[in-house]
């Protein structure tokens, strides 16, 4: 049995087509590091199944849902203590991920088999996975 798939011109799903990261680092004191990371994602199309692109209707309305572009800013800092304890070096660190608490769609599935409304490849048919909210961690690194 011959199947026809209407895939011409479709964007790759499940990964942003454009990604940009800018990093700025400062070393204000010996052993102290401050860093800002800006990440931007755009042209992110929902993951899609080729088997849903094999009808005449799919030929006309086949582009997967495109998630909104988003940007995230992270902060990182570390300080290597200027002494060691019996040959053990100590470094304090702190990270803040998604510092501005941006709400964003990190991933999506086009025409979800669980949540699709009318299966026309629009937002009401996408199953979305939201990005992580602001989080942080602090800690101590021991080197020996």
Mean pLDDT confidence for 21-29 = 97
In angstroms, how far apart are the furthest CA atoms of the chain? 74
Helix (H, G, I), strand (E, B) or coil at 56: helix
Q: Tell me the per-residue pLDDT of 64-121, one tens digit each, with 9 for 90 and over.
A: 889 999 999 999 999 999 988 889 999 999 999 999 999 999 999 887 777 777 777 7
Q: Which pLDDT score, from 0 to 100, does residue 120 have?
A: 73
* Structural domain spans, the chain: 16-143
- CA–CA gap between residue 105 and residue 32 (Å, rounded): 34
Instruction: pLDDT band for 9, please (50, 70, 90 cuts).
Output: confident
- Beta-carbon neighbour count of residue 111 at 10 Å? 22
Asked whether residue 62 carries a pLDDT value surpassing 80, the answer given is no
Q: Which pLDDT score, from 0 to 100, does residue 48 have?
A: 86
Nearest to 105 by CA among 22, 14, 31: 14
- CA–CA gap between residue 126 and residue 60 (Å, rounded): 18
Note the helical H segments in the chain.
Answer: 56-60
């Amino acid at each position: 049995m011959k199947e026809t798939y209407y895939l011409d011109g479709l964007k790759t799903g499940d990964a942003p087509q454009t990604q940009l990261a800018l990093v700025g680092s400062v070393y204000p004191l010996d052993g102290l590091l401050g860093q800002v990371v800006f990440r931007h994602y755009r042209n992110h199309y929902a993951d899609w199944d080729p088997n849903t692109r094999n009808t005449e209707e799919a030929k006309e309305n086949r582009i997967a849902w495109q998630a909104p572009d988003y940007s995230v800013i992270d902060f990182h800092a570390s300080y290597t203590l200027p002494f060691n304890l019996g040959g053990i070096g100590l470094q304090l660190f702190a990270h803040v991920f998604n510092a501005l608490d941006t709400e964003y769609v990190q991933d999506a599935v086009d025409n979800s088999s669980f949540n699709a409304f009318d299966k026309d490849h629009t937002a009401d048919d996408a199953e979305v996975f939201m990005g992580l909210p602001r989080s942080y961690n602090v800690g101590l690194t021991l080197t020996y």
